[in-house]
Structure 1
Amino acid sequence: MNHKKTVSMRKFSLGAAFFMIILSFFVSVAFAIEKEGPKNESVVRHPPEIHGSGKIDRVDKDQIVVDDKMFLLSSGYEKRTADDEALSQEKLSAGMKIAFRLDAKRQIVTIWILKE
């Protein structure tokens, strides 16, 4: 009788071990899929080191008003896309959503034109 109990316990232990191995495989696959995420999802990047954002109220030669606050434009300020690509021909106009970075003099040195 003792021998039958030992054989049954061994079969049970092997079965339990096999079940745990299979279970851990499926769990690790599920975590790998979750970490990878959807492949066709577009990534929205945010501009680095922004100091402010809002809608343009008015643009003059050397200043800009954003959400009722006036900022001076640095002489060589940059215009960039929301994905941080350089823009040279884009004109700034009232109603545009932007983000911006200031220098030590609190002048705008970089403007990112955000998507509506």
Structure 2
Amino acid sequence: MLHSALQDCTFTKLRSDSALRVLFSGSLRLKCKSACCQRWYFTFNGAECTGPLPIESIIYLDQGSPELNSTINIHRTSSVEGLCEGVKAGLVDVAVWVGTCADYPRGDASTGWNSVSRIIIEELPK
């Protein structure tokens, strides 16, 4: 699977028993001539969240007529948001990535075209 970090930043987490709420908001686009899927997701210190689940969003395009798929180029403002528990206190490297979905070919993914993209990180006490 091909993956690339779109943006990363360091966040100082004050408590080990709190959760991190993360949000990415920006323009996402996927195009391809046959079925393809890409996923946008967060990592914390290089690993995806497991408590309770990964924080992700996908775009899937089904196979259609080649002449239509080759001209579809719709950029939509989308968000990837969730809570992650179990991250220890201290400096946390938070990153947004784009990669492939399991068992689907890679498409031509675009992030942040002609618009503002935001990453918001918030520590929430239990």
TM norm structure 2: 0.23
Q: Compare relative contact order (CA 8 Å, sep 6+) and give the higher one, 1 or 2.
A: 2
TM norm structure 1: 0.24
Instruction: From the CA coordinates, give the structure whose radius of gyration is larger.
Output: 1
Q: Which has the higher strand share?
A: 2
Q: Which has the higher helix share?
A: 1
